[in-house]
Amino acid sequence: MRGIALEKRVLERNDALAEANRELFRARGAYAINLISSPGSGKTSLLEATLARLAASLRVAVIEGDVQTENDALRIAATGTPVEAIVTGGACHLDAAMVRRGFRALCDRLEGALDLLVIENVGNLVCPSSYDLGEDEKVALVSVTEGEDKPLKYPALFHAASVMLVTKIDLLPHLDCDVGALVRNARSLHPSLRMFQVSARTGEGLAPWVEYLKERAAGRRRSSVGEEADRQTPPPTGLSTDR
């Protein structure tokens, strides 16, 4: 019971900070996504390929989480995208406090609004699914090398995610992976889960994924404009013209 109560308190504190993060991201104009996968699924390679296709149309920044080293952050920096590395020093996930510090450090170096904030979480299919970071969407990645049963083995992530990316599809000719079974297993947990099948190496399937991100960022811009207009609209006087 003590362990359960402690976990509940930790998550309650995290959720409060996550909600504050959400307001920070919105104030900056950014639509935020949280990329979650096991190690080796191709998150960073996919992110590099995605950023190359977004560079001309969206203002993007990245928070890059890892247990040790800033290797992945250096790869993202090489694309020209602003990035802040978070090295957890052993923690198997990012939490809202880490992301808050990382985002503030990013903002100190950025000018103007953002369109998209990408949070690349620590490689892990379990712990990151429990922690709200203030993101708008959790995005689950599963590579074709991992097997069709990953959603059934790690259901919490696929319940929490709104998007699933099947990565490394260029390897399918060399594998026995049944992508249809993988998709069915994921949708048995979350029927409305949006799916994209992609290859960072060949570029196959990336166009629909990139368009999806553009649509989400555009929706955030429209929402921000509407909220600003509401703030500038004079309040009603309370007087009625009815006779």
Separation CA 106–CA 25 (nearest Å): 12
| Intervals of the chain under pLDDT 70 | 1-7, 225-243
Backbone angles phi, psi at 87, to 5 degrees: -100, 115
Q: What angle do CA 76, 82, 83 make, to 5 degrees?
A: 60
Amino acid 231: pLDDT: 55
CB atoms within 10 A of CB 34: 27
Separation CA 43–CA 36 (nearest Å): 8
Amino acid 2: pLDDT: 53
Q: What is the CATH number of domain 12-21+29-219?
A: 3.40.50.300
Contact 133, 166 (CB under 8 A): no
Query: How many angstroms separate the Cα of 23 from the Cα of each of 20, 98, 129, 235?
Result: 5, 16, 21, 23
Amino acid 182: pLDDT: 98
Report the b/e string of 61-71 with b at 16+ CB within 10 A.
bbbbbbeeeee
Amino acid 241: pLDDT: 34
Residue boundaries of the structural domains of the chain: 12-21+29-219
Contact 65, 119 (CB under 8 A): yes
Amino acid 230: pLDDT: 53
pTM of the model: 0.89
pLDDT tens-digit profile of 30-61? Answer: 999 999 999 999 999 999 999 999 999 999 99
Amino acid 243: pLDDT: 30
Amino acid 9: pLDDT: 76
Instruction: Name every residue whose Cβ is closer than 8 Å to that of residue 135 and which is 6 or more positions away in sequence.
Output: 22, 32, 33, 34, 119
